[in-house]
Amino acid sequence: MNILGVDTSTKKLSVCVLKDDLILANFNSTALQRHSSMLVPVIEKVLKKSKLPLKDIDGFAISIGPGSFTGLRIGVSSIKALSMATGKPIVAVPSLDVLARNATSTRDLICPIVDAKKSNVYACFYRPSKGKLIRLAEYMLSSVHDVAARTQEKTVFLGDGLAVYGDYLKNRLSSFAVFEEERLWYPKAVIVAKLGLEKLKGKEFDDTDRLTPLYLYPKECDIIKKQK
């Protein structure tokens, strides 16, 4: 089964094509504010490298957030367009689930934190269990102080929120706070595709017409709706 995975939830742009568990082509690069101009050409480039035409893709996996408002809108709208053009299904994967899987070599609690601006972070706690990650709470939009207060045991943190709040967490939590290296702070499309493939095989398709990014800032969501 062939699946195209995309993540545009951060300043990084990540696109991947999988054939079952085999990576046919992969792209990861800093996009900053250029997701809109880069995404379609990168998808074309990755498909060409994979030697698969678009018609041979069996489904699309998209990282739906939480994350960058602009990046998420671009990613979701582009994948919806491809789905409607090809008639192939979409499966949506929360970005924090994707990011948490970058911490693969630990038995400790895992907490991805993504900078949400306005002195907030997007975060969630996961526990490794038998090769899988068990999500322990709802996806959070909260202050880093709240995240620290919830941390009662050794926890592996990763995500671009560490660039802003890493020193605070280390000072507040001491040995309870373990940081992954910076190369693991961003979601990867290969993980989006792998998680999406599980949903695709189970026919857990998302409704293309109703699919929207996972926003946790209600005021921004209202503004976006009014602008449409």
Pair (38, 82) in one structural domain:
yes
Model-level pTM?
A: 0.92
Domain count for the chain: 2
Range of the domain at 133: 103-184
Order of strands, sheet of 22-30, starting from the edge strand that comes earlier in the sequence: 22-30, 12-19, 2-7, 59-63, 90-93
Distance in angstroms (rounded) separating the CA atoms of residues 116 and 176: 23
33 and 108 part of one domain: no
Do 84 and 191 have their domain in common?
A: yes
Per-residue model confidence (pLDDT) at position 31 = 74
Q: Are residues 132 and 170 in the same domain?
A: yes
**Helix 69-86 vs helix 35-50: angle between axes, to the nearest 10 degrees?**
40
- How far is CA 23 from its chain centroid? 18
Say which CATH number the domain at 107 has.
Answer: 3.30.420.40
Say whether both 162 and 137 belong to one domain.
Answer: yes
The pLDDT, as a whole number, for residue 224 is: 41
Cβ(152)–Cβ(136) below 8 Å: no
State the DSSP code for 174. Answer: G
Q: Are 27 and 71 in a shared domain?
A: yes
Distance CA 218, CA 209 (A): 21
pLDDT by 10s per residue, the chain, length 228:
999 999 999 999 999 999 998 999 999 998 766 888 999 999 999 999 999 999 999 999 999 999 999 999 999 999 999 999 999 999 999 999 999 999 977 889 999 999 999 889 999 999 999 889 999 999 999 999 999 999 999 999 999 999 999 999 999 999 999 999 999 999 999 999 999 999 999 999 999 999 999 999 875 444 444 433
Cβ contacts of residue 187 below 8 Å, gap of 6+?
Answer: 7, 9, 10, 12, 14, 63, 95, 98, 99, 102
Domain boundary among 168, 184, 200: 184
pLDDT of 223: 40
Same domain, 223 and 170: no
β-partners of residue 179 are 157
Let me know whether 123 and 51 are in one domain. no
Same domain, 147 and 173: yes
